[in-house]
Structure 1
Amino acid sequence: MMSFLRSVATIPLAGSAIPTEFSLSSSSSTKSQTFPFPSSSRSSPRLRASAPMACVPQVPAAAVSEFKGPNVFGVVRFVQISMENVRIEASFGGLSPGKHSWCINEYGDLTKGAASTGNIYNPLQDDQAATQLPGDLGTLEADQNGEALYTVKKENMKVTDLIGRAIVVYETEDKSVHGITAAVVARSGEVGESCRKLCSCDGTTIWEATVY
């Protein structure tokens, strides 16, 4: 019996290396009997999803550019609504009444204001003959109070490629002179989280545009 107890005491506890067999000997016989453990090569059952996961609203990639004066104030928001499409929404105040060109420029260098932001952003370098470069945002039209709203969907653009560049606003539609103000495009987390969510399945509009 003591021999049997010693044999049992040598069986490893959970978490230790598991042998493939153990021996049991009795006091009446010197011959050991071998009892193999179940094969460890059998794989345990895998859990499978019983149904597809429900659609969960998600906050897409977003960026923001803020104009803090002293003359022109505004905010521009960029949201990735698909792999190659970006929704741009902007509101401005402090502009002179009338039309103002504006664009995304190559660099976020504001050491000399708009003059140090480079040329209009153009990821399509092989298509210089395009009628409008991707970074050209068209025209802002300010009312008599100097306020302007803008919403557009831009194709062939990614929010991640815009971060660190600059938004430039011009005094008129003429881009031959430097812009009157500029602001850097920065990554946005709080803007997207504080507004309505964009569902990945239906493309709901994210923001209601309001004057800044």
Structure 2
Amino acid sequence: QCPGTFRIMDVQTEMEFAVEMTCNGCVDSVKKVLNTDLVDLVSVDLDKQRVVVKSKLGFQQVQDMLETTGKRAAFMGHGASMQRQHLGAAVAEISGRFVKGVVRLLQLDQNLCLIEGTVDGLSPGKHGLNIHEFGDLSDGCSSCGEHYNPYNYKHGGKNDAQRHVGDLGNIEARSNGRATFRFLDDKVKVWEIIGRSMVVHEGEDDEGKGGRETSKINGASGPGIACAIVARSAGLFQNNKQTCACDGVSVWDERNVPLAGAERMLYIRKDPNSL
């Protein structure tokens, strides 16, 4: 629950997906699976392979629904349903030795940011989630710097009046290692954190209340085990690519391929027919 008048269960956003549709039967399947009180279907465009919805569900839940049709789907753009002006969206493709996930941020208005994500490979239980000041992954998560704290406040919980802007509390992994989360934040501004980093920590964040020994970099939640640079993300209808111009990977295959660097090229050269 975020301070203020909005409740997370009341927040509806508009989402754009690329869906690998090839016929009118695919369109019918998409419409059928989205025929629920939880989703308002805006449009299904077979020619552009595009589906647009309004929903109070998270992006991963809608994508999972789309993929029950047997067709691959890729998240393409995000917008706030409550206003016409797009104030910014961002994405962090979280990665570690065993941990992978996606965190998305959408600025709903000047004072409220929606933060949602799915992270896999975690040990069951709570893990600190923080925005750190540097987008430097040269030494893994340890080179991301301290929590983003432009006002020099004390460490706290995500709902505290005074806290680091980067204090996002904890995410909780179930027995299968997956943590899903969706919450509102009245401190984070998307335009201020582009180029910084998002870090998932080894243990639970005490949110400044545990009395445990803390470090300036990791608080009381232990070292970072997965992290990512926060990158600008597309709003609605701002991303029209179907394949990456540099190597031909389709939008539907991106999840199976390393994002960049030598590992990506090795994957493509090793088995190009798997794409």
TM-score, normalisation: structure 1 = 0.59
The separation in 2 between residues aligned to 1:180 and 1:93, in whole angstroms, is: 12
Contact 1:134 1:154 in 2 (8 A): no
Alignment RMSD: 2.5
The alpha-carbon distance between structure 1 residues 66 and 141, as it changes in their structure 2 partners (threshold 3 A), is: same
Query: Which of 77, 86, 91 matches 2:113?
Result: 86
Q: Where does residue 23 of structure 2 map in the other structure?
A: none
Percent identity of the aligned residues?
A: 42
Higher RCO (Cα < 8 Å, 6 or more apart): 1
Q: Deviations over 1:53-107 (max 9, x none)?
A: xx98454410000024541111101111111221101111111111111100000
Q: Which has the higher helix share?
A: 2
Q: Which amino acid aligns with 2:230?
A: V
Q: Where does residue 230 of structure 2 map in the other structure?
A: 185
Query: Which of 142, 151, 155 matches 2:186?
Result: 155
Q: Where does residue 144 of structure 1 map in the other structure?
A: 175
The alpha-carbon distance between structure 1 residues 144 and 159, as it changes in their structure 2 partners (threshold 3 A), is: same
TM-score, normalisation: structure 2 = 0.46
Alignment of 1:40-55 (within 5 A): none
- Stretches of structure 2 that go unaligned for 5 or more consecutive residues are 1-81, 206-218, 240-275
The separation in 1 between residues aligned to 2:155 and 2:175, in whole angstroms, is: 36
Equivalent pairs counted in the alignment come to 139
The separation in 2 between residues aligned to 1:56 and 1:115, in whole angstroms, is: 38
Q: Where does residue 164 of structure 2 map in the other structure?
A: 133
The alpha-carbon distance between structure 1 residues 64 and 122, as it changes in their structure 2 partners (threshold 3 A), is: same
Question: What is the DSSP-based 3-state SS (H/G/I as helix, E as strand, rest coil) of the residue aligned with 2:224?
Answer: coil
Question: What is the DSSP-based 3-state SS (H/G/I as helix, E as strand, rest coil) of the residue aligned with 1:122?
Answer: coil
Alignment of 1:1-212 (within 5 A): 57-125=84-152, 127-128=153-154, 132-173=163-204, 175-176=219-220, 177-189=222-234, 192-193=236-237
The separation in 1 between residues aligned to 2:173 and 2:155, in whole angstroms, is: 30
